[in-house]
Amino acid sequence: MPSSLNNFSTCSYSSTWNAICFEIIYNDNNRKKIMNTFENNLEALYTVNPDLAASLRAIKTNTIYEVFTDKDPANINLIDTRNNTPLYQTLPVEETFKKVEELIPYRQYPYLYFFGLGNGVIYKLLFQNEIHRRIVVFEPEIEIIYIVLNLIDFSHEIMEQKLVLLEANNITYNAMFRLFDNDAKIFAKVYDLLVILPYYEKYYEKIMEINASIVRAIEQLVYSFGNDVEDSLIGIQHFITNLPRLIQTPKLQEFLHKIKNTKTAVIVSTGPSLMKQLPLLKEVQEYVTIICIDASFPILAKHEIKPDVVVSLERVALTSTFYKNTPDEFHKDIVFAVSSIAHQELLESIHGGTLVLISRPFGYKFFFDFEEWGYLGRGMSAANLAYEIAAMALFNEIIFIGQDLSYGKNGNSHAADHVLGKDEVKNDKSIGAIEAYGGDGMVETTMVWKLFLNFFELDIAEVNQAGYSRSINATEGGARIHGTEEIPFKDIVETLVDKKEKKEKITLLQPDAKEIKFNQKKITSKINQAKKVGLSVKKSTEKVFLELAAFLNEVEELNKASQLEKINYKKVEKLIHKIDLIKEKVDHDVFNKVFFDLMQSYILHQELELATVQVRYVDNEEGRKAKLIEWLYAHKGWLFSVAGIIDAVLVAIERGEESQSKAA
């Protein structure tokens, strides 16, 4: 979250400039030093971006760009020999300092994004400002990166990930999404892609492409936090309720180790195209591991296809419908992999088989420290979780069928036999068209399906990079899932499915009584600790909120009387300090894990607004004072929200405890 305001004084860049000049003079006179600079940079780069490091290692010398300097060795220019065009039209030193002046409005930005590396000197200058925590640079010409890393030592900045160098022609959506980790996400609203030099304007299409990918990543990030705090509260209530049951179910590693009873996993979703694949699936059901989402379960039962694993992610009671609409005898010998926030009605609707409760990778799950039962399910759908399970179980091939993520040609949202209806999601929810399977035109999708698609592409990119599984989309319809191979299901059945030996039933071991008893005590201890910390922070937050509200009332009165000059700025500073202390409490490990994940959906938009205040540059005392007052006003709602959500979470925990008692 945005911390306190940073008072930024005007930077003097002379010392940094002299240091850069000395380094380049030394490099120019000492070939060994040049090699050390490049090797130092490369060594650092291998730790954070090994693919780029390997590409740079393969370059023997620059062939496209020539390097020129004058008596000022940091006055570096590069000439593009393909069209005899220099990166800098005048003296590089003059253009560099001019650009620094243009960037004055960004001096308070912790995160900056640039297109173009140039000669690299400006980034050394910008890092003199300690407010800049990270600078991301997209460079379309790898040879420019090679030249700059031979001349300037960025090894410390690269290793600390303060400087993130990315080859603009080799960017993945996964990389875009990861740019907004930790605090970077809070400053997403003030994101701007800056072009470092006019030379790079010729890459307009690439700039637009990268910008679109970043906007897409930010969009997914914001939506992934959710916008319904009630859902989050229900989740923690159900989690507390389910904890005694969770510690009695097989552990995640036990589950992942044993579910690979064939080399091929087929993930069955409920898109409109599913029905055409069922005859083939039935034909090979004894030779592939079938992982179906809960909505597909009754469909498979109707067609006499027995899955090995059924996956549920949702916390709502409606999900139990899929189990209630499947004959009880069909539940036998199936593993039910269910999120630990599932509704009790769902759990009670499972009759037979083996229940495995899986914790998703969110704060309060980490706090309770039952790592053996987690953590999977960072995506937003049961199918996302199914893919994570298949990938973590190291299946050779992971096949998608029925994963349309779009409306069918007939306007249906789901398969014909879907329990809730083939048109459960009405077509008026469409947000527009996305690329179709096989690149065959476009298909209509919804915001939710697009988010599911984004998570698939994130996970698939990681699996592809690791290289241990093939991800194959055999849906033969719907949206294209980038990163998958598109192969007809018939071809897979004929060429990939091993029909020499039938699969065995999955049998899982459960924890023993001694371990269950120990973990039950741990649950009680953790719940008590969470409540104690929550009550303490709530009390402190309410106290500061009341002080702040009273002070802002005084400001309002002074404003009405046109006497704003009488504002007590010593009191302003004290209030900001008290707010910072609250933020320290909120950032504390226990509070952050138990409460903050749930708070984010409620206060994320306030955090984004706080960031816009924090990064605003002011260059005079009047502007500074106005910014301080605005900072206080922005925190009035923030403090109220924090106190309110703590109270709501504590109520949810207590309700979970009550449900525990009833279940026992």
Asked if residue 94 is part of any domain, the answer here is yes
**Among 18-27, 228-237, 420-429, 623-632, which stretch is predicted with the lowest mean pLDDT?**
18-27
Residue 598 has pLDDT above 80, yes or no: no
User: Radius of gyration (Cα) for the chain, nearest Å?
Assistant: 29
Q: Which of 448, 474, 499 is the last residue of a domain?
A: 499
Could you read off the pLDDT of 57-95 as tens digits, one per residue?
999 999 999 999 887 777 899 999 999 999 999 999 999
Q: Are residues 526 and 492 in the same domain?
A: no
pLDDT at 374: 82
What is the mean predicted confidence (pLDDT) over 474-486?
95
Report the C-alpha gap between 291 and 440 in whole angstroms: 28
Residue 352 belongs to some domain of the structure? no
Give which of 504, 489, 506, 502 is closest to 268, Cα–Cα. 489
Asked whether the beta carbons of 470 and 483 are under 8 A apart, the reply is: no
Q: Are residues 445 and 521 in the same domain?
A: no
Inside any domain, residue 231? no
Rounded Cα distance between 305 and 58, Å, is 52
pLDDT per residue as tens digits for the range 335-385: 999 999 999 999 999 998 999 999 988 778 888 889 888 888 888 899 999
Question: Cα separations (Å) of 440 from 443, 474, 476, 478, 486?
Answer: 9, 15, 11, 10, 12
* pLDDT at residue 605 in the model: 78
**Given a cut of 90, is residue 301 above it in pLDDT?**
yes
Residue 309 phi/psi, 5° resolution? -135, 135
Global pTM value? 0.81
Please give the pLDDT value at position 332.
94
For residue 513, the tally of other CB atoms under 10 A from its CB is: 9
Average pLDDT over residues 6-21: 47
Residues 493 and 390 occupy one common structural domain:
yes
End-of-domain residue from the set 444, 477, 499? 499
Inter-CA distances, 657 with 238, 358, 528, 664, Å: 10, 20, 11, 11
Q: How many CB atoms lie within 10 A of CB 71?
A: 5
Q: Is residue 176 part of a domain?
A: yes
User: Per-residue pLDDT for 193 more than 60?
Assistant: yes
Alpha helices in 195-319 (DSSP H): 204-224, 229-246, 252-258, 278-284, 297-302
Res 181 pLDDT > 80? no
Tens-place pLDDT, residues 137-154: 999 999 999 999 999 999
For residues 226 and 602, the answer to whether their CB atoms sit within 8 Å is: no
- Say yes or no: 390 and 490 in one domain: yes
Cβ–Cβ under 8 Å, residues 166 and 144: no
Strands (DSSP E) along 440-518, which ranges?
Answer: 442-446, 470-473, 485-486
On the CB side of 158, how many CA atoms lie within 13 Å of its CA? 26
pLDDT band at 7 (very low <50, low <70, confident <90, very high): very low
DSSP SS3 for 429: helix
Per-residue model confidence (pLDDT) at position 399: 98
How many structural domains comprise the chain? 3
- Residue 549 pLDDT exceeds 60: yes
User: For residue 521, what are the CA distances in angstroms to 250, 326, 496, 530, 664?
Assistant: 19, 37, 49, 14, 15
Backbone angles phi, psi at 403, to 5 degrees: -100, 70
Domain finish residue from 452, 468, 499: 499
424 and 531 in a single domain? The answer is: no
Res 543 pLDDT > 90: yes
Domain match, 136 and 266 both: no
Q: For residue range 249-267, what is the model confidence (pLDDT) as tens digits?
A: 999 999 999 999 999 999 9
Percent of the chain with pLDDT over 70: 92
* 527 shares its domain with 412: no
The verdict on residue 631 lying in a domain is yes
Residues 561-579 have a mean pLDDT of 92
Judgement on whether residues 523 and 429 belong to the same structural domain of the protein = no
State the pLDDT at residue 32. Answer: 47
Shared domain check, 270 and 124: no
72 and 198 within one domain: yes
Cβ–Cβ < 8 Å for 355, 373: no
Same domain, 60 and 176: yes
- Contact (Cβ atoms closer than 8 angstroms) between residue 172 and residue 119: no
Give pLDDT, residue 664: 59
Task: Specify the DSSP element, H or E, that contains 571.
Answer: helix 569-587
Instruction: Answer yes or no: is 240 within a domain.
Output: no
In whole numbers, what is the pLDDT of the chain averaged over residues?
89
User: Torsion over CA of 484, 488, 489 and 494, rounded to 10 degrees?
Assistant: -110
Is residue 348 assigned to a domain? no
pLDDT, residue 35, reads 56
Which pair of structure tokens corresponds to residue 333? Answer: 């010998």
Residue 82 main-chain phi, psi, to 5 deg: -70, -30
Residue 310: pLDDT band with limits 50, 70, 90: very high
Q: For a pLDDT cut of 90, what percent of the chain falls above it?
A: 67
* 546 domain residue, yes or no: yes
What distances in angstroms separate CA 97 from CA 13, 20, 93, 151, one per listed residue?
A: 9, 14, 6, 19
Residue 334, pLDDT > 80, answer yes
Q: Which domain holds residue 582?
A: 513-663
Q: Is the peptide bond before 191 cis (omega within 30 degrees of 0)?
A: no
Give the SS3 label for residue 299. Answer: helix
Q: Which pLDDT value is given to residue 8? A: 33
Instruction: Name the pairing type of β-strands 335-339 and 163-167.
Output: unpaired
| Residue 137 CB contacts under 8 Å (≥ 6 apart), including other chains | 114, 115, 116, 117, 123, 163, 164, 165, 166, 196
Contact criterion met (CB below 8 Å) for 119 and 92:
yes
Q: Is the pLDDT of residue 19 over 60?
A: no
Neighbours of 552 (CB within 10 A): 16
423 and 534 together in one domain: no
pLDDT above 90 (res 388): yes
Alpha carbon distance 17, 470 (integer Å): 50
